[in-house]
Protein backbone atom coordinates (compact mmCIF):
# COMPACT_ATOMS: atom_id res chain seq x y z
CA UNK A 1 0.00 0.00 0.00
CA UNK A 2 1.17 3.55 -0.76
CA UNK A 3 0.84 6.36 1.75
CA UNK A 4 0.01 9.56 -0.12
CA UNK A 5 1.63 11.73 2.57
CA UNK A 6 4.86 9.77 2.24
CA UNK A 7 4.95 10.25 -1.54
CA UNK A 8 4.22 13.97 -1.14
CA UNK A 9 7.04 14.33 1.41
CA UNK A 10 9.48 12.62 -0.95
CA UNK A 11 8.44 14.85 -3.84
CA UNK A 12 8.72 17.98 -1.68
CA UNK A 13 12.36 17.14 -0.95
CA UNK A 14 13.20 16.27 -4.56
CA UNK A 15 11.22 18.99 -6.31
CA UNK A 16 9.70 21.80 -4.26
CA UNK A 17 8.22 23.46 -7.38
CA UNK A 18 6.36 21.92 -10.32
CA UNK A 19 5.78 23.67 -13.64
CA UNK A 20 2.22 22.45 -14.14
CA UNK A 21 -0.41 20.03 -12.91
CA UNK A 22 0.72 17.54 -15.54
CA UNK A 23 4.32 17.86 -14.32
CA UNK A 24 3.19 17.08 -10.76
CA UNK A 25 0.97 14.17 -11.88
CA UNK A 26 3.83 12.58 -13.79
CA UNK A 27 6.28 12.94 -10.89
CA UNK A 28 3.70 11.56 -8.43
CA UNK A 29 2.90 8.59 -10.67
CA UNK A 30 6.61 7.89 -11.20
CA UNK A 31 7.24 7.78 -7.43
CA UNK A 32 4.42 5.25 -7.10
CA UNK A 33 5.89 3.21 -9.95
CA UNK A 34 9.31 3.19 -8.30
CA UNK A 35 7.86 1.79 -5.07
CA UNK A 36 5.33 -0.59 -6.61
CA UNK A 37 6.72 -1.57 -9.99
CA UNK A 38 3.84 -3.99 -10.59
CA UNK A 39 1.20 -1.29 -9.99
CA UNK A 40 -0.86 -0.03 -12.91
CA UNK A 41 -0.88 3.79 -12.74
CA UNK A 42 -2.90 5.85 -15.16
CA UNK A 43 -3.20 9.63 -15.52
CA UNK A 44 -6.38 11.55 -16.44
CA UNK A 45 -8.68 8.53 -16.56
CA UNK A 46 -12.06 9.49 -18.08
CA UNK A 47 -14.99 8.05 -16.10
CA UNK A 48 -18.59 8.42 -17.21
CA UNK A 49 -20.96 9.58 -14.47
CA UNK A 50 -24.55 9.87 -15.62
CA UNK A 51 -24.36 11.85 -18.88
CA UNK A 52 -20.92 13.41 -18.49
CA UNK A 53 -17.30 12.42 -18.19
CA UNK A 54 -15.12 13.24 -15.21
CA UNK A 55 -11.35 12.96 -15.40
CA UNK A 56 -9.65 11.32 -12.44
CA UNK A 57 -6.17 12.86 -12.14
CA UNK A 58 -4.35 9.68 -11.01
CA UNK A 59 -5.76 6.15 -10.89
CA UNK A 60 -3.92 3.07 -9.74
CA UNK A 61 -4.54 -0.59 -9.13
- Three-state secondary structure of 1-61: CCCHHHHHHHHHHHCCCCCCHHHHHHHHHHHHHHHCCCCCEEEEEEEEECCEEEEEEEEEC
pTM of the model as a whole: 0.77
The tens place of each residue's pLDDT in the chain, 61 residues long, gives 778 899 999 999 999 999 999 999 999 999 998 988 888 888 888 999 999 999 888 888 7
Amino acid sequence: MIEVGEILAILAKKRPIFHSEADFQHAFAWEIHQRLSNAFVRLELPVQVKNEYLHIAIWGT
